[in-house]
A and B are shown apart, each in its own frame.
Chain A
Amino acid sequence: MRALVIDDSRTMRRIVSSTLERIGFETIEAGHGREALDHLEAGERVDLACIDWNMPVMDGLTFVTEVRANPAWRDVTLMMVTTESEQGQIVRALAAGAHEYLIKPFTADAVRDKLDLLGLIPAEELA
Chain B
Amino acid sequence: MTLSAESFAYVAEIVRRRSAIQLDVGKEYLVESRLLPLARAAGQEIDEFVDALRRRQDPGEITRVVEAMTTNETSWFRDGVPYVALRETEVPRLVAARRGVGRLRVWSAACSTGQEPYSVAMTLADVLPPSMQAHILATDLSEQVLERARSGRYSQLEVNRGMPAGMLVTHMERVGTEWQVAQPVRDMVEFRAHNLLDAAPAGPFDLVLLRNVLIYFDMPTKAAILERVRRVLHPDGALMLGAAETTLGVHEGFERVSVGRTSLYRPLAVDASGAPAPAVVGPPPAAAATGVPLPRRTAAPVLPATTPTPGRVTSTLPPRGATR
Contact surface of A with B, Cβ cutoff 8 Å: 68, 71, 74-75, 77, 85-87, 90-91, 93-103, 105-107, 109-110, 113-114, 116-121, 125-126
Contacts and interface: CB of A to CB of B under 8 A. Distances in A.
A96 B305 contact: yes
A99 B324 contact: no
B303 interface: yes
Contact of B303 (A68, A94, A109): A94
Nearest to A87: B174
A80 to B, nearest CB: 8
Interface stretch (B47-55, B58-66, B141-149, B155-163): B155-163
A100 B313 contact: yes
B160 A99 contact: no
Contacts of B304: 68, 94-99
A99 B318 contact: yes
A107 to B, nearest CB: 7
Kindly state the interface size class of chain B when it binds its partner. Answer: 20 to 34
B165 interface: yes
A77 B312 CA distance: 8
A103 B321 CA distance: 23
B289 interface: no
B306 interface: yes
B302 A74 contact: no
Contact of B321 (A91, A100, A113, A121): A121
Contacts of B314: 99
Please list the 3 inter-chain residue pairs (A to B) with the smallest Cβ-Cβ separation, ordered nearest first: A119-B321, A101-B165, A110-B160
Given A103-B159, A110-B157, A121-B321, 13 more contacts: A87-B174, A97-B306, A98-B165, A99-B304, A99-B313, A101-B168, A105-B156, A107-B161, A110-B162, A113-B160, A117-B317, A119-B320, A119-B321
